[in-house]
Amino acid sequence: MCVSYAQQFKVFLPIGTFFSERNRTEANFDPVDLSVIPNPSLVHVLKIWMSVSNQVRKNPSLSVSKLLSKWPMRGLVKTIIAGCLLLMVCSLFGGEERPPQVWDFDSITPTPSPIPSQKSSPQEVYDVLVKMMTRWNAHDLDGYLDCFWKSPDLVDVVDSEVNLGWQKLHDSYKSGFHNADEMGVSTPMRIQVRLVKDDLAFALTRWTITFPRSTHALIGIDTNYLQKFEDGWKVISSHTSTTEM
Give domain limits for the chain.
6-93, 105-244
Q: Tell me if 210 sits within 8 A of 230, measured CB to CB.
A: no
What confidence score (pLDDT) does residue 27 get? 40
**Dihedral sign (CA 28, 31, 36, 37):** negative
Residues making up the chain, counted from first to last: 245
Greatest Cα-to-Cα distance within the chain, rounded to the nearest angstrom? 85
At the topology level, CATH places domain 105-244 in Nuclear Transport Factor 2; Chain: A, (3.10.450)
Start-end of H helices in the chain: 6-9, 13-19, 40-58, 64-68, 75-93, 121-137, 141-145, 166-176, 180-183
What confidence score (pLDDT) does residue 189 get? 94
Q: Sheet holding 232-244: strands in order across?
A: 105-106, 185-197, 200-210, 217-229, 232-244, 155-158, 161-164
Q: Tell me if 144 sits within 8 A of 136, measured CB to CB.
A: yes
- The pLDDT tens digits along the chain (245 residues) read 444 444 444 444 444 444 444 444 444 434 445 454 455 555 555 566 666 666 666 676 655 556 555 555 555 555 566 566 656 655 555 555 555 677 888 888 876 666 656 778 999 999 999 999 999 999 999 999 999 999 999 999 998 889 999 999 999 999 988 887 889 999 999 999 999 999 999 999 999 999 888 888 999 999 999 999 999 999 999 999 998 87
What confidence score (pLDDT) does residue 160 get? 86
Q: Tell me if 76 sits within 8 A of 109, measured CB to CB.
A: no
Model pTM above 0.75: no
**Dihedral sign (CA 101, 106, 112, 115):** positive
Q: Tell me if 235 sits within 8 A of 225, measured CB to CB.
A: yes
